[in-house]
């Protein structure tokens, strides 16, 4: 977990601090599958700007996730450039919109902020390639490597009488 102690940052209104941070990215569990950031620590640029009513935090980084493809279970790589912003008011007055959940006891949790932003940016399905054919629903073979079709079977013999009735009508 990467934490930034905000007590060490002393800025006056209008001033900003630019800093390079190395953020630890924990593995993600999505759909029962594990996705790992490579490398585990990503280089990020942090900008802290002091406003008259609070502080603005900006974080930018590039992340690369490795894990299984949702369709064929082969290796998939997902890359994304992320840029996010949070605001923390000095006197929020109980308003959740004026506070960031990533500041606890004067520490900014960069790892949680980066993880949440990454998860929100993920597509519905992480694929090895856009045109991935997936696995055969009958035999389970990879349709990307071995495209094939199965002949339709006659069906369940218990339904034969209804099939005959349908054909007569």
**Three-state secondary-structure class, residue 161:** helix
141 neighbors 135 (Cβ within 8 angstroms): yes
> Whole-angstrom Cα distance, residue 76 to residue 139?
22
What pTM was estimated for this model as a whole? 0.79
pLDDT (tens digit per residue) in 85-144 = 999 998 877 677 788 999 999 999 999 999 999 999 999 999 999 999 999 988 899 999
pLDDT (tens digit per residue) in 135-168 = 998 889 999 999 988 887 666 788 888 888 888 8
Write out the two tokens for 13. 């209104």
> Whole-angstrom Cα distance, residue 52 to residue 11?
11
* Chain mean position to CA 141: 28
């Amino acid at each position: 977990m990467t934490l930034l102690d905000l007590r060490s940052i002393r800025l006056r209104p209008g001033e900003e601090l630019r800093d390079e941070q190395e953020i630890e990215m924990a593995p993600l569990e999505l759909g029962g599958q594990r996705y790992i950031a490579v490398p585990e620590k990503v280089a990020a640029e942090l900008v802290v700007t002091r406003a008259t009513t609070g502080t603005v935090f900006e974080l930018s980084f590039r992340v690369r996730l490795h894990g299984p493809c949702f369709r064929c279970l082969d290796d998939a790589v997902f890359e994304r450039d992320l840029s996010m912003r949070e605001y923390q008011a000095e006197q929020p007055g109980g308003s959740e919109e004026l506070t960031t959940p990533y500041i606890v006891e004067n520490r900014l949790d960069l790892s949680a902020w980066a993880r949440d932003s990454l998860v929100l940016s993920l597509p519905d399905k992480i694929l090895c390639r856009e045109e991935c054919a997936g696995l055969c629903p009958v035999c389970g073979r990879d349709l990307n490597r071995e495209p094939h079709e199965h002949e339709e079977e006659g069906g369940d013999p218990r339904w034969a009488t209804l099939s005959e009735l349908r054909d007569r009508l």
